[in-house]
Structure 1
């Protein structure tokens, strides 16, 4: 029986569930969950997507993702292939790890968004060690939502979801805790230092960024940033060429919404697997050096619009 086509929209928000097959745990150790988080962070930056919530179990993971104009299948393929390669190397195994293709549920409205985040975070109640303190579970974004802990990977965009509970940060946290039935167990005001008079507010709003930049604009800006002439983009086996190709491939994926095939056709004489390698190289370069300015330049050149969901 053929698979049912997924419902996908250009700027959709989805609840994703990835499960392992029956023979293996998806995450054997705590470090595996950490590695998956690092991979999510990497592709969040490469594709320009947003992660709204996450919760790891031993044999599956839940998270909410906004595709921001990128094809969901491409994002998930990058994430899962990268993780399976890591997993198979670490545990000296071969073959598939995922039991089935990932499940994706399109979030259609504000109520569905709020409820989906609550559902994701409630999963930790199935973990015996954390059942009575799910807000302290380190592999869930709930602690970030409630202000219990920081987000060391800068992965979670919680503000957009929390504003649907209350514009005041502390009031939103109280409401969210109540919806999770945490207020019956803890003195929330004391434990999390809630101040009723705190005027801090969520001002997060969803902005759709259209990935419509021309590749030539990407090349021009990358050339200026790296101080490398554009001609080196097309010269193989050259250190300057490797740098500019890596950055152009990375930003074409992020701001043009280009597929690997389209990047191959533009740069010329490279394979799709090479595009993945180039994007990873660019990610490492961006992580090592301060390239914040170029993100701002490209974002300004992309048209945006505000929306609720």
Structure 2
């Protein structure tokens, strides 16, 4: 009987990818703050071994998002992150079987406008839920958004808070505070600005 092999993913070094990993059957795989902090540790461990940077990330209860640019093979990076977290989860909760819905989703983000839109979408996850998880995005510790806040000193060495700033459109300043303001605007406000700026 012929065994079907998994289709090889398209991946280009130093291209940007929006990566999403979901819990099996959309079930929660982050049941506590410690779980979310542990995933962040898994990402940090992967950053010690592989060359990559995150423009944005956000951990929710049943999935997480990464906007990543890597020199090393993305599949190797994700394999380490997912395996470390899965081992932790299985041990902590005595879980048997897989915790992820399937292989991670990855889509190349190939324009500056898309990069801004995807990063904004990722960062706004905690306030786009039916019941917002926080009042202010800078108060959500399980995303890269606080790293863009000028008043925050981030210890996350794998976060690249500079590359995206060059793509901010007028009237936003090409600074971290300009990016924060951009993300906090509603989509209809951004569209109105685009029309006004022509």
TM-score interval (norm. to shorter): 0.7 to 0.9
Larger C-alpha radius of gyration, 1 or 2? 1
Match in the other structure for 1:90: 92
**TM-score, normalised relative to structure 1:** 0.53
Count of residues in correspondence between the two structures = 181
170 and 161 in structure 1: CA distance in 2 versus 1, 3 angstrom threshold: closer
Q: In the TM superposition, what is the alpha-carbon distance from 1:80 to its structure 2 partner?
A: 0.4
TM-score (norm 2): 0.80
User: How far off is 1:25 after superposition?
Assistant: 1.4
Shift of 1:114: 1.1
Partner of 1:172: 178
Q: 1 CA distance for matches of 2:140 and 2:79?
A: 27
How far 1:179 moved relative to its partner? 3.6
- Measured in 2, the distance between the counterparts of 1:163 and 1:83 equals 34
5+ residue gaps in structure 2? 190-198
**Structural mapping, 1:1-309, within 5 Å:** 5-22=8-25, 24-68=27-71, 70-124=72-126, 125-126=128-129, 128-130=131-133, 132-165=135-168, 168-169=174-175, 172-173=178-179, 175-180=181-186
Distance of 2:44 and 2:130 partners within structure 1: 25
Call closer, same or farther: CA 1:134–1:167 in 2, change over 3 Å. closer
Q: Judging changes above 3 Å, is the alpha-carbon distance between structure 1 residues 168 and 71 closer, same or farther for their aligned structure 2 residues?
A: closer
User: Could you report, residue by residue, the CA deviation over 1:56-103 in whole angstroms, capped at 9, with x for unpaired residues?
Assistant: 1100001111111x1111111111011100111111122211011110
- Which structure's relative contact order is higher, taking Cα pairs within 8 Å and 6+ residues apart? 2
For the aligned residue pairs, the C-alpha RMSD in angstroms reads 2.5
Q: How far apart are the structure 2 equivalents of 1:161 and 1:93?
A: 39
**Once the 2 structures are TM-superposed, how far is the Cα of residue 148 of structure 1 from its aligned partner?**
4.8
Instruction: Name the CA distance, whole Å, in 2 between partners of 1:82 and 1:91.
Output: 14
CA distance in 2 between partners of 1:131 and 1:164 (Å): 27
Structure 1 unpaired stretches of 5+ = 184-309
Extract structure 1 runs of 4+ deviating beyond 3 A.
Answer: 1-5, 177-181
The structure where helix makes up a greater share of residues is 1
